[in-house]
Amino acid sequence: MSDAVISRRPTNTPDEVSAGTILIIDDEYEIRESLQTLLELEGYTVEVAIDGEDGLNHIAARPFDLVLLDFALPDRNGLEVLRDIRDRAPELAVIMITAYGTVENAVNAIQGGAVNFVQKPWQNEKLLADVSAAIGRRRAEEENVQLRRILNKRYRFENIIGKSEPMQKIYDLVQQVAPSRSTILLNGESGTGKELIAKAIHMNSPRRDRPFIPVNTGSMPADLLESTLFGHVKGAFTSAVASKKGLFEVADKGTLFLDEIGTMSMETQAKILRVLQDRKFMHLGGIHEVQVDVRIVAATNVDLRTAVKEGKFREDLYYRLNVITVDLPPLRSRKEDIPLLVEHFVKKFCEENDKPMVNVSAAALHALMDYNFPGNVRELENVIERAVVLTSGQIITPDLLPDNIVGRNSALSMIGSRPDASLFDIMEDAERRIIGEMLEKCAWNQTEAAKRFRIPLSTLNQKIKRLGIELEKRSIRENGTA
């Protein structure tokens, strides 16, 4: 049943700290004993139950971090017990264990709310890793419940949400620098929330009652950007039929947020530098200087130091902007913040769409936690908005998430209409599909396909025959022969 011989030790003494509490529901004594010994050796507190009803009684009597649930129980089906557990303790993590490792069973277990599916005989290291991961997620979710009470006090800084160490450092730095007059440079990938940080700085400064003006400098041609920032006088250019204030004037006594500053032309950079140095500028076409008191918060998703070396950004402007630097981490490096962000966005979009508050299933949250979000917080926000709009019930389930997040385009999609297929059948289907696609890509030239696969031509021919790949309709030349 397992891959190692293990010896039993006593359960945790009062002086020991348990790694977690686990309930084993299995009717086989040998299985229960092996699992209990393995887990207690890792510091877990373990209880056992002999059938579904016994297991539900244990759950009613005390809280657990995790349940290891057998698929086949004497009094009822394991999936039925799983449904009862979900009804009674929806937050409780469940790993299904079975000797009947069909794809259909695995799919049914995950769809029923199990966080994982393990086949007997298990591998000890893999099982322990799955247990540790499941309990880690469960405790993160429990922590989130408590964090809701203090979001507005500590972990929610305006609309910036996160409890991770990188975000805590940002909170501390922002709180330190917000009251000052210093220029601030925000570094971070697209979608990491640079504008939200800029607004948090403004709202926690003495300028909070004055304008906060954001401008995306990368979305405008140079001439339009200069007119937008500095304004113009009547007749300054063909379409200037009237004088117009620029954003530096509009933001006087307030904050001007210059996003994507690394994309500005060198000429515009020179004018920005003068404003930072002298707090003065002239309208386009004007002859009089305008004095302003504007705090600059700039943001970039490119490395300005590299841009300076490449001659694309002024070195003197870089040092003027780089008085205080705030580096925003990508979401993939602070995944512990995802549950908090999900909760925030669910509430936000339920309110915006006049929908009752919905919850996110454990499986959906699991998928979100496992995804790397190249678009960062902005991508997560869009994903949650889509799910809230599409849901017709009270729970956001994995089917409401995009394919690239839940892996519907992964190898498991090959199961298709064959839920009863064995792993061997699925692997054959995958191999048949891969070889067929490569042959088609190579115009059905088997020699070329074998070369791309880096296998002998004879091996490829054997696979084509074994897998029954149709070649009748091909039109190929194989060294001059079909």
- Which residue from 199, 128, 193, 205 is spatially nearest to 344, judged by alpha carbons? 193
Q: What is the mean pLDDT of the chain?
A: 83
Inform me whether the pLDDT recorded for 189 exceeds 80: yes
Q: Which domain holds residue 198?
A: 165-327
pLDDT at 103: 67
Which tens digit of pLDDT belongs to each residue from 216-246? 888 788 878 888 898 888 887 777 778 888 8
Same domain, 170 and 304: yes
What's this model's pTM, rounded to 2 decimal places?
Answer: 0.54
3-state secondary structure 276-314: HHHCEEECECCCCEEECCCEEEEEECCCHHHHHHCCCCC
Same domain, 375 and 397: yes
Residue 211 lies in a domain: yes
Last residue of a domain, which of 295, 327, 359?
Answer: 327
Selected residue with higher pLDDT from 17 and 313: 313
Q: Which three-class secondary structure state does DSSP give residue 257?
A: strand
Q: What is the DSSP string of 412-434?
A: GGGGTT-TT--HHHHHHHHHHHH
Residue 228 lies in a domain: yes
Residue 126 lies in a domain: yes
Same domain, 47 and 116: yes
CATH code for position 176: 3.40.50.300
Find the mean pLDDT for residues 433-462.
Answer: 86
Same domain, 318 and 345: no
Residue 359 lies in a domain: yes
Residue 167, burial from CB neighbour count under 10 angstroms (0-12, 13-18, 19+): buried
Question: What span, in angstroms and rounded, lies between the C-alpha atoms of 167 and 161?
Answer: 8
Which tens digit of pLDDT belongs to each residue from 359-410? 998 888 988 988 889 999 999 999 999 999 999 888 998 889 998 888 655 5
Same domain, 41 and 169: no
Q: What is the DSSP string of 329-390?
A: PPGGG-GGGHHHHHHHHHHHHHHHTT----EE-HHHHHHHHH---TTHHHHHHHHHHHHHHH
Last residue of a domain, which of 283, 300, 327?
Answer: 327
CATH code for position 344: 1.10.8.60
CATH code for position 109: 3.40.50.2300
Same domain, 294 and 181: yes
Q: How many domains does the chain fold into? A: 4
Given pLDDT bands bounded at 50, 70 and 90, which one contains residue 16? Answer: very low
Question: What span, in angstroms and rounded, lies between the C-alpha atoms of 342 and 373?
Answer: 13
Same domain, 216 and 287: yes
Q: Return the residue matching tokens 């299985």.
A: 31
Same domain, 209 and 320: yes
Q: Which of 195-199, 332-336, 421-425 has the lowest mean pLDDT?
A: 421-425
pLDDT at 244: 85
Residue 355 lies in a domain: yes
Same domain, 131 and 202: no
Residue 463 lies in a domain: yes
Last residue of a domain, which of 303, 327, 351?
Answer: 327
Q: Is the dihedral of CA 362, 24, 83, 80 positive or negative?
A: positive
Given pLDDT bands bounded at 50, 70 and 90, which one contains residue 466? Answer: confident
Same domain, 316 and 172: yes
Q: Return the residue matching tokens 């501390």.
A: 172
Residue 156 lies in a domain: no
Residue 158, burial from CB neighbour count under 10 angstroms (0-12, 13-18, 19+): middle
Same domain, 135 and 190: no
Which tens digit of pLDDT belongs to each residue from 348-372? 999 999 999 999 988 889 889 888 8
Inform me whether the pLDDT recorded for 58 exceeds 90: yes
Find the mean pLDDT for residues 435-445.
Answer: 82
Amino acid of residue 368: L
Question: What span, in angstroms and rounded, lies between the C-alpha atoms of 66 and 50?
Answer: 16
Same domain, 452 and 394: no
Find the mean pLDDT for residues 449-460.
Answer: 89
CATH code for position 460: 1.10.10
pLDDT at 87: 86
Residue 10 lies in a domain: no
